[in-house]
Amino acid sequence: MNEKIALRSQRYLGRTEEILVEDVNLKDPNQVMGRTRGNRLTFFAGDIEKLRGQLVQVKITEARPFSLTGTPLVPVLS
């Protein structure tokens, strides 16, 4: 089952997704976390105080079974 989930996550690699920023990444305070329109958890570098509630275009660079990591396309103040 995890293999199927991992394969589905791979389709996001290289794509640009609109992310709604929700909170700070508890494992890395230099990152924020948010969700795609499809509800996929996504992490990227940024300042939660400036980005909470914002929509950010993020290029997906890493896909894991239950989350994505990316780079914001527009420079984000950190």
User: Does residue 14 lie within any of the structural domains?
Assistant: yes
User: Does residue 44 lie within any of the structural domains?
Assistant: yes
CATH assignment at residue 34: 2.40.50.140
**Confidence bin at 7 (pLDDT 50/70/90):** confident
H/E stretch holding 70 reads strand 68-72
Q: 20 near 57, Cβ under 8 Å?
A: no
6 vs 43: which has the higher pLDDT: 43
Host domain of residue 47: 2-72
Q: Which tens digits make up the pLDDT trace of 49-73?
A: 999 999 999 999 999 999 999 999 9
* Residue 32 confidence (pLDDT) above 70: yes
Q: Cα separation of 68 and 58, whole Å?
A: 10
The total number of structural domains that make up the chain: 1
Q: Cα separation of 70 and 78, whole Å?
A: 15
Minimal CA–CA distance to 16: which of 37, 46, 31? 37
Predicted confidence at residue 17, as pLDDT, reads 97
DSSP state of 17: E
User: Does residue 6 lie within any of the structural domains?
Assistant: yes
User: Does residue 78 lie within any of the structural domains?
Assistant: no
User: Does residue 77 lie within any of the structural domains?
Assistant: no
- pTM score of the predicted model: 0.88
